[in-house]
């Protein structure tokens, strides 16, 4: 295959706190293969992030049956969580990456570009972390994205942490028992508050995020304690939506792994104004890379 043909392929990469996903696309943006590897947020480890990016890219090529292609011949758009922090953006920009060219962006920008097919818009992200972001007439605007545990309200990690806190309080007799108690203790193989604290102490966002669904399960069964957690998270997202609309985005989408569980709890006003995302974040990375190539 000639170099001209090789250059027609693009890699789009979305690196988050839980996983790194890559797609390889053709010149006409047809997805040919997908690869998923470990966490891609450099905030939780530079070496892990770079390894995950490379691994997901190679897996995508393998899935596409393009193992013969070298990464050094392919342009990559790379959107990462954490690089909204200048020090991490600088660190990742300095990486001696294996690609022909790498165009680095925040996970927020590529999610927004993907959701609106490269056009202006806004997104609310509820995955392992949470945030709001709009991109209108070339102006980015961000709400949240402060990280866990001091930020990321209404994220998977936040919901999991709230569950653990309230189960501990109920074991101490300070709040009413919840359906979450037995489920959480069983899931983490704990018998009491002491063993629970030993298990959860110092755990990262991805660990707490795995507990989020049990909060929604209990809330949907009418558990008042779980419903209070979900309602608090939903109101935070409602307020993010109100703030983003002030930037006059033509469209707004909600994305992230927790979206199907949280969206029904949002206000009717918020839900009625949301649009389905047109493409996933990894396609947004490809769109970003193509845009940057034109600007060179």
- Write out the H or E segment, with its range, that includes residue 238: helix 224-245
Q: How many CB atoms lie within 10 A of CB 131?
A: 28
pLDDT band at 67 (very low <50, low <70, confident <90, very high): very high
What is the per-residue pLDDT for 128? Answer: 85
How many Cα atoms within 13 Å fall on the side-chain side of residue 168? 15
Neighbours of 91 (CB within 10 A): 16
Q: What is the model's pLDDT at position 5?
A: 47
More confident position, 2 or 247: 247
Q: How many residues does the chain have?
A: 296
Q: Place 61 in a pLDDT band, splitting at 50, 70 and 90.
A: very high
Name the segment(s) of the chain with CATH classification 3.30.420.40.
3-117+278-295, 156-272
Q: Judge contact between 102 and 76, C-beta under 8 A.
A: yes
How much is the average pLDDT of 148-170? 95
pLDDT at 6 over 70: no
Pick the CATH number of 3-117+278-295 from 1.10.1060.10, 1.25.40.10, 3.30.70.260, 3.30.420.40: 3.30.420.40
User: What is the number of helices (H) and of strands (E) in the chain?
Assistant: 13, 9
Among 160, 15, 2, which residue's Cα sits nearest to residue 76?
Answer: 15
Q: Give the tens place of pLDDT for each residue, 268-288.
A: 999 999 999 999 999 999 999
What pLDDT does 268 receive?
98
* Beta carbons of 46 and 91 less than 8 angstroms apart: yes
**CA distances for 158 relative to 129, 204, 229, 249, angstroms:** 8, 11, 10, 27
Instruction: Measure CA 146 to chain center.
Output: 13
Q: What is the 3-state secondary structure (H, E, C) of 246-259?
A: CCCCCCEEEECCCH
How much is the mean pLDDT over the chain?
Answer: 94
Q: What is the CATH number of domain 156-272?
A: 3.30.420.40
CA-closest candidate to residue 125, choices 22, 214, 257, 229: 257
Would strands 75-80 and 10-15 be described as parallel, antiparallel, or unpaired?
parallel
């Amino acid at each position: 295959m000639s170099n001209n043909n090789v250059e027609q392929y693009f890699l789009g990469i979305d690196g988050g706190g839980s996983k790194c996903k890559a797609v390889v696309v053709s010149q006409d943006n047809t997805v040919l293969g997908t690869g998923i590897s470990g966490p891609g947020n450099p905030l939780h480890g530079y070496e892990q992030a770079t390894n995950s990016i490379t691994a997901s890219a190679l897996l995508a090529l393998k899935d596409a049956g393009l193992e013969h292609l070298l990464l050094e011949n392919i342009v990559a758009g790379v959107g990462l969580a954490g690089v909204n922090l200048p020090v991490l953006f600088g660190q990742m920009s300095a990486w001696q990456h294996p690609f022909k060219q790498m165009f680095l962006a925040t996970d927020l920008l590529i999610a927004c570009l993907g959701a609106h097919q490269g056009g202006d818009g806004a997104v609310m992200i509820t995955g392992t972390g949470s945030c709001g972001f709009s991109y209108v007439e070339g102006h980015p605007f961000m709400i949240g994205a402060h990280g866990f545990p001091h930020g990321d309200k209404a994220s998977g990690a936040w919901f999991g942490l709230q569950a653990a806190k309230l189960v501990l309080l109920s074991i101490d007799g300070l709040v009413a028992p919840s359906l979450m108690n037995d489920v959480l203790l069983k899931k983490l193989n704990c018998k009491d508050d002491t063993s629970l604290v030993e298990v959860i102490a110092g755990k990262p966002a991805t660990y707490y995020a795995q507990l989020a669904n049990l909060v929604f399960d209990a809330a949907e069964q009418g558990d008042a304690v779980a419903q209070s957690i979900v309602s608090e998270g939903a109101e935070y997202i409602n307020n993010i939506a109100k703030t983003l609309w002030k930037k006059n985005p033509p469209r707004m989408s909600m994305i992230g792994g927790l979206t199907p569980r949280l969206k029904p709890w949002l206000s009717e006003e918020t839900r009625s104004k949301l649009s389905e995302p047109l493409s996933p974040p990894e396609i947004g990375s490809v769109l970003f890379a193509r845009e940057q190539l034109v600007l060179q």
